[in-house]
Amino acid sequence: MGYSRSTMTKSEDPIKQSPVFALEDSPDLSFVLDCLDTMSQGLSVTRLVNGELQMVLCNRRYIEILDFPEELAVMPCPFEEYIRYNAERGDYGPGDPKEQTRSRVELAKQFESHQFRRTRPNGQVIEVTGKPLSSGDGFVTTYTDVTSEAQAENYNEILLTALNNAVTGIVIYGPDDRLLFANSRMKENNRAIEASYTPGISFEDRMKLLIAHGAIKSIKGREDEWLAERVKRRKNQHGPFEVQREDGGWLLINDIKLDTGHIVSLSADISEIKETEEALRRAKEDAELANLTKTEFLANMSHELRTPLNSVIGFSELLISTNFEQIGMDRVTEYLGDINRSGRHLLRLISDILDISKIEVGEMVLDEEVISLQKIVDECFKMINERARRAQTQLTIEDGCPPIWLMADETRLKQILLNLLTNAIKFTESEGRVSVGWSLDKDKNLDLYVNDTGEGMRPESIEIALEPFGQVATSLTRDHEGAGLGLPLSRRLAELHGAKLHIESELGHGTTVRIIFPAKRVIEKSTL
């Protein structure tokens, strides 16, 4: 049998007819052609005819899928015409249509199997599959519209990308409660337990793995109980709940059961939220404490200010109303001494309050110069010696202290030492000892310390004592005078010098207050 033109004229509709190129005079031809026209795929047959590639057979679907004009439905037709038509309407993308046509025709003449997808400008995706004829001089090609399939694949890819880039951990379980999918965020949350994300692992086995690896910090000591609760919660859908990871972070877990029986488990990292909540709670507590301490401070300060002020007023009124000759000059001198001491005490209180206020608002400026540490300590001892004598407390300088010069504010350094010495004497019982010492560490930092054999402090009281209002809670009940501003003020003044003040103390075993000055403030004798 040979091939010949159909008797159909070009005026007839080629799409509504059977294929226009057919086998010659075959009794079964109509049946075969009808069968081809019922295919959902486009089909074409191309062969070499007199050295030229010719389209010798195609079905109705081929013309429809590729949207060819009627004249290209008449067989046989040069293969090149189809390629040129596609090239000129832009099906092959940008480029020279002539070159696109030539290259594709030459490629077709190789008669090799091929399969690829082509996306047309209108978005239609066609899968092209070509197989060579057994004769080796042509090929049969099928054309399948896979636009919907391609879109679905594209949507799946988009969905997968979205899931893997979500900030929420997502795990999907099948109706049999076995893992189907876990996104990247979920894997990052438990990176060390890769086995827990093996497809097909059951939910309960996965939880057991997490427990075995200690991944859930908040359930330590009640693992079995938690596992039972977790499985029960999952079945009964009790809503979201929180768990704490081994690293201290927090997760919010929510299981959602779908009508299909699938379960989507969501886990969001709420560590920052928990930290914020904790910070707000602490801030609230601190604010409440600050308000309380300020109230108590004002009450205490009123008492501290009123006491010396009443002494000044009382003794001055007494002197005004008294005949000096009757009471004698000794008694007058005593009254005047009381007035002087009360006035000086009042002045110290006011000065301390003003100094702390100036430091807090950044208005205090240091008047720095090179000073001898030995000289400063000696002068402070002279100023505090009478107080130590009355308290029957021994004042000493530790042996072996090297000659040290500092770049510092002399007035403020004295203020620091006097505050520390006064505090040490105040809280040291009779026959006790207060000493001052200093040394250089390996980095040339200066360690200046005041040590006493006094009553000491509990560890939890040390930081409180360093706050301006820190002694308020006990100040009204203690046996010692003072507003408790010495230590806080000393710390602030030390910090202005770039130094750090810290306390070492044990209840009943005395206290050591250290001030660590940076090496840059220490001046060696050789450089003076």
- Residue 159 lies inside a defined structural domain of this protein: no
Same domain, 344 and 453: no
- Residue 328 lies inside a defined structural domain of this protein: yes
Same domain, 114 and 238: no
- Residue 386 lies inside a defined structural domain of this protein: yes
Same domain, 111 and 47: yes
- Specify the CATH number for the domain of residue 446: 3.30.565.10
pLDDT one digit per residue (tens) for the chain, 528 residues: 333 333 333 334 443 343 434 444 445 667 777 788 888 899 999 999 988 999 999 998 999 999 999 888 888 899 999 999 999 999 999 999 999 999 999 999 999 999 999 999 888 999 999 999 998 899 999 999 998 888 877 777 877 777 777 778 888 888 888 988 888 787 776 665 777 778 888 888 888 888 887 777 778 888 888 888 888 877 776 678 787 877 778 888 888 888 888 888 888 888 888 888 888 998 888 888 777 767 766 666 666 667 677 777 877 877 777 776 767 777 778 778 778 877 776 777 677 777 777 777 777 888 899 999 999 999 989 988 888 898 899 999 999 999 999 999 998 898 899 889 988 998 888 888 999 999 999 999 999 999 999 888 888 777 777 766 555 343 333 444 555 677 888 888 899 999 999 999 888 889 999 999 999 999 866 555
Distances (CA, A) of 276 to 54, 202, 341, 415: 76, 35, 51, 40
pTM higher than 0.85? no
9 — alpha (psi -120 to 50), left (phi > 0) or beta? beta
Same domain, 93 and 231: no
Alpha carbons within 13 angstroms on the beta-carbon side of residue 115 total 3
Q: Take residue 54 and report the two structure tokens written for it.
A: 């010719």
- Specify the CATH number for the domain of residue 320: 1.10.287.130
Same domain, 303 and 420: no
The b/e string for 259-289 (b: 16+ C-beta within 10 A; e otherwise) is: eeeebebbbbbeeeebeeeeeeeeeeeeeee
Question: What's the distance, Cα to Cα, between the start and end of the chain in Å?
Answer: 121
- Residue 182 lies inside a defined structural domain of this protein: yes
**Phi/psi at 174 (nearest 5 deg)?**
-75, 175
Q: Take residue 13 and report the two structure tokens written for it.
A: 């509709």
Edge-to-edge order in the sheet of strand 405-409: 368-372, 405-409, 522-523
d(CA 122, CA 284): 63
Total domains in the fold of the chain: 4
Same domain, 295 and 390: no
Which of 359, 379, 400 is a domain's end point? 359
Are the C-beta atoms of 299 and 476 separated by less than 8 Å?
yes
- Residue 158 lies inside a defined structural domain of this protein: no
Same domain, 403 and 511: yes
Same domain, 192 and 72: no
- Residue 69 lies inside a defined structural domain of this protein: yes
Same domain, 388 and 355: no
Same domain, 413 and 512: yes
Same domain, 93 and 233: no
Which of 146, 175, 207 is a domain's end point? 146
- Residue 157 lies inside a defined structural domain of this protein: no
Range of the domain at 139: 3-146
